[in-house]
Amino acid sequence: MSFPSWLSQLYRGLSRPIRRTTQPIWGSLYRSLVQSSQRRNPEFSSFAVRTNTCGELRSSHLGQEVTLCGWIQYRRQNTFLVLRDFHGLVQVVIPQDESAASVRKILCEAPVESVVQVSGTVISRPAGQENPKMPTGEIEIKVKTAELLNACKKLPFEIKDFMKKTEGLRLQYRYLDLRSFQMQYNLRLRSQMVMKMREYLCNLHGFVDIETPTLFKRTPGGAKEFLVPSREPGKFYSLPQSPQQFKQLLMVGGLDRYFQVARCYRDEGSRPDRQPEFTQIDIEMSFVDQTGIQSLIEGLLQYSWPNDKDPVVVPFPTVTFTEALATYGTDKPDTRFGMKIIDISDVFRNTEIGFLQDALSKPHGTVKAICIPEGAKYLKRKDIESIRKFAADHFNQEILPVFLNANRNWNSPVASFIMESQRLELIRLMDTQEEDVVLLTAGEHNKACSLLGKLRLECADLLETRGMVLRDPTLFSFLWVVDFPLFLPKEENPRELESAHHPFTAPHPSDIHLLYTEPKKARSQHYDLVLNGNEIGGGSIRIHNAELQRYILATLLKEDVKMLSHLLQALDYGAPPHGGIALGLDRLICLVTGSPSIRDVIAFPKSFRGHDLMSNAPDSIPSEELKPYHIRVSWPTDSKAERAH
């Protein structure tokens, strides 16, 4: 087969995203899954005892003898049951004649969710009994033989997507939760996107898929790592927070285009978009610059994007870190909607409003505002009150609301102090309309921007819960954020520096001299990829000069360079210029499928507290078994009491 025709047969994406799956749309979703599968003609029943899948049978199969295996979805009046597998549902007629008493007994007595095998003939449904909502709705199976493969006990919850169940229960019985259509869909879409990514990287662009160790040693800086005890007293492995060092070492090794679907570990607790173990599409290449990596990723996403969604448009827009902060108050802006932060300091240079005057008299004082479209209509007084309280509690900042009423009487605690000229200038700068609300704050630039950035998102959520459509749910808004600072002040000690990305990130070529004079001002060659306000990837061009790397680690970051001596040594042996990126696969799939949490796109995720609720990991180990590791647990006093119970 020629290369292009082989390519043309490659898998072509899945169906549309689903937020809530209810029974009636099962049919169409299954249909699109099956159709997209059929385009590639995979053999879904090869090597198995079944001849067909439940969901694939149509009128074209009439008269065929088939063997199906599936779970009993439901049974109606002991006359038929509906059998389910991933492909869909099919109706099986329970025979009523005496000669088939044993088959009838099996099919009538097996509890729901038991797994059965049936053989029989595909027949038409009687006229008028077709079900247009079901892809298999024109046919049914006239059973000849049936076997109960395994019975199902009383379930902890119904396997129906529309039945609400707590996440705890879903995680405890994850193997049952996985039977839901939603989970099947999410995991299959994930598998197919990853397959396309492999094709793009390896087959189209010559990348090499290389596995790197998960038993490694501590990396200075960055996230907290999980420790794994070894049998050597006092010695531990660390689980890598990413394959960063290995991928750079591969470049030194001449494997100049590396990629891996890499499992990474960070001991930082779970959040809706974080897991202690997570997966990255990890990429590194030699002889490349920032725009090369960006184009590679744009092509990768375009190629692997599910076909039924609006195509990914490239190149993605780019903003600098400084612009992102000034306009959206964050380094991961949600660019699906406006409500940008506007600097209105100049409007209020001669104001009589006390706190604005105060702020502007300070060296870096500014006045900033966002405009909430139709806020006067959608936001209630109590919303404004809680916005003001949030600003005071979390940012120690004052927020001034201005309601732009149609009658030109602006409603605000300071309305009478806003002069007509200021008013006109505000309208011009902020492009306000009647019924909008302007939220105004004053203070130091970064602080004012961060606060308004938070309020921008809060207000967008509020407007949407009140019925305004602000963010198109089908829109995927990608954005590159570039020109990050190389260093940030350390949170725990702002006089010290830490890397904004990681210590291997190269400085911006025009800022190298600043490393020796004002390192805080140096920009880096670090880039983040943002999708709908979520960071889905990040990477950088790396330092390939050992001396510069040593200077940054030892002198600027005050790290122990001994821990990285292997890397520093490697850089000295003709390390090529290189750079890379990692995409957070879980987060990406979560956004593509419109899932509320990354746990919905991971087969066996950890709970919010990092536990596996199904197996109860982490678990205690008898002290005998800890001996070979030279470890003894020192129990905190309160947990001793707990253990006694």
Can you state the percent helix, strand and coil of the chain, rounding each to 5? 35, 20, 40
Minimum distance of ligand ASP from residue 538's CB (angstroms): 5
- Compare residues 267 and 464 and give the one whose CB is closer to ligand ASP: 267
Q: Which residue is nearest to ligand ASP (CB)?
A: 242
Interaction between residue 240 and ligand ASP (CB under 6 A): no
Q: Are 241 and 227 in contact (CB under 8 A)?
A: no
Q: Which of 184, 212, 219, 242 binds ligand ASP (CB under 6 A)?
A: 242
- State which of positions 262-281 bind ligand ASP (CB under 6 A): none
Minimum distance, C-beta of residue 260 to ligand ASP, in the bound complex (Å): 11
Q: How many residues lie near ligand ASP (CB under 6 A)?
A: 8
Q: Which is nearer to ligand ASP, 83 or 552 (CB)?
A: 552
Residue 602 in tokens: 């991971």
Amino acid at 129: Q
Selected range binding ligand ASP among 70-78, 89-97, 453-461, 574-582, rule: CB under 6 A: 574-582
Per the document, the length of the chain is: 645
Cα separation values, 149 from 68, 115, 118, Å: 12, 6, 10
Q: How far is the CB of 306 from ligand ASP (least distance, A)?
A: 25
Among 244, 270, 290, 304, binds ligand ASP (CB under 6 A): 244
- Nearest CA-CA partner of 107 in 142, 79, 86: 79
Does 248 sit near ligand ASP (CB under 6 A)? no
Residue 539 binds to ligand ASP (criterion: CB under 6 A): yes
Give the SS3 label for residue 570.
helix
- CB of 551: closest distance to ligand ASP in angstroms? 20
Bridge pairing between strands 526-531 and 534-541: antiparallel
Q: Give the residue with the Cβ less far from ligand ASP, 265 or 337.
A: 265
Query: Measured from the CB atom, is 184 or 540 closer to ligand ASP?
Result: 540
Stated as kind and residue range, the H or E segment containing 225 is none
- In the bound state with ligand ASP, the residue whose beta carbon lies nearer, of 172 and 286, is 286
Asked if residues 452 and 505 have their Cβ atoms less than 8 Å apart, the reply is no
β pairing state of 88-93 and 208-209? unpaired
Report how far residue 576's alpha carbon sits from residue 579's, in angstroms, rounded to the nearest whole number: 10
Nearest alpha carbon to residue 449 among 557, 361, 367: 367
Does residue 618 have a cis peptide bond before it, meaning omega lies within 30 degrees of 0?
yes
Token match 């079901």: residue? 134
Residue 524 interacts with ligand ASP (CB under 6 A): yes or no: no
For residues 244 and 220, give the distance between their C-alpha atoms in angstroms, rounded to a whole number: 12
Does the footprint of ligand ASP cover residue 582 (CB under 6 A)?
yes
- Which residue spans within 357-482 are E strands per DSSP? 365-372, 399-403, 437-444, 478-482
Local structure of 145: helix, strand or coil? strand
What is the smallest separation between the CB atom of 481 and ligand ASP, expressed in angstroms? 14
Q: Which is nearer to ligand ASP, 341 or 582 (CB)?
A: 582
* Binding region for ligand ASP (CB under 6 A) out of 90-98, 392-400, 578-586, 610-618: 578-586
Segment interacting with ligand ASP (CB under 6 A) among 62-70, 514-522, 580-588, 606-614: 580-588
Q: State the nearest-atom distance from the C-beta of 201 to ligand ASP, in Å.
A: 14
Q: How far apart are CA 136 and CA 58, in angstroms?
A: 6
Choices 162-170, 191-199, 387-395, 537-545 (CB under 6 A): range interacting with ligand ASP: 537-545
Nearer to ligand ASP, 26 or 278 (CB): 278
Task: Based on the shown chain and the rule CB under 6 A, indicate whether residue 540 belongs to the binding site for ligand ASP.
Answer: yes
Q: How far is the CB of 529 from ligand ASP (least distance, A)?
A: 11
Q: Is 330 in the site for ligand ASP (CB under 6 A)?
A: no
**Closest listed residue to residue 153, CA positions, set 94, 198, 110, 196:** 110
Single out the segment in contact with ligand ASP by CB under 6 A; choices: 433-441, 536-544, 564-572, 585-593.
Answer: 536-544
Nearer residue to ligand ASP within complex by CB, 330 or 540: 540
Q: Which is nearer to ligand ASP, 205 or 309 (CB)?
A: 205
Which H or E run includes 584?
strand 578-584
> How far is Cα 494 from Cα 624, in angstroms, rounded to an integer?
45
Euclidean distance between CA atoms 341 and 532, whole angstroms: 17
Nearest-angstrom CA–CA distance, 437 and 403: 5
Q: Which of 95, 401, 538, 605 binds ligand ASP (CB under 6 A)?
A: 538
Contact region for ligand ASP (CB under 6 A) — 204-212, 292-300, 304-312, 538-546? Answer: 538-546
Q: Which stretch binds ligand ASP (CB under 6 A): 49-57, 334-342, 396-404, 534-542?
A: 534-542
| Selection from 3, 367, 40 nearest residue 192 by Cα | 40
Min CB(537)–ligand ASP separation in Å: 8
Stretch that binds ligand ASP, among 31-39, 487-495, 532-540, 563-571 (CB under 6 A): 532-540
Q: How far is the CB of 526 from ligand ASP (least distance, A)?
A: 8
What is the SS3 assignment for 561-588? HHHHHHHHHHHCCCCCCEEEEEEEHHHH
The residue with tokens 């209105």 is 344
Nearer to ligand ASP, 138 or 528 (CB): 528
Residue placing its CB nearer to ligand ASP in the complex, 244 or 595: 244
Q: Please, are residues 283 and 207 in contact by the beta-carbon 8 Å criterion?
A: yes
Task: Say how far apart CA 403 and CA 384 lie, in whole Å.
Answer: 11
In the complex, what is the shortest distance from the CB of residue 223 to ligand ASP, in angstroms, rounded to a whole number? 9
- Tell the smallest beta-carbon distance from residue 504 to ligand ASP (Å): 7
**Spatial CA neighbour of 286 closest among 198, 213, 208, 214:** 208
Cβ proximity to ligand ASP, 80 vs 316, nearer residue: 316
C-beta closer to ligand ASP: residue 34 or 543: 543
- Give the pairing of strands 478-482 and 318-320: parallel
**40 and 188 Cβ atoms separated by less than 8 Å:** no
Q: How far is the CB of 276 from ligand ASP (least distance, A)?
A: 14
C-beta separation of 506 from 540 below 8 A: yes
Looking at residue 188, its amino acid is: R
Q: CB 274 → ligand ASP: shortest distance, Å?
A: 13
Q: Supply φ then ψ for residue 600, to 5 degrees.
A: -80, -5
Is residue 580 within the footprint of ligand ASP (CB under 6 A)?
Answer: yes
Supply the minimum distance, in Å, between the C-beta of residue 211 and ligand ASP: 16
Strand 478-482 relative to strand 257-265, pairing:
unpaired
CB of 256 to ligand ASP, least distance (A): 15
Per CB under 6 A, residues contacting ligand ASP are 242, 244, 538-540, 580-582
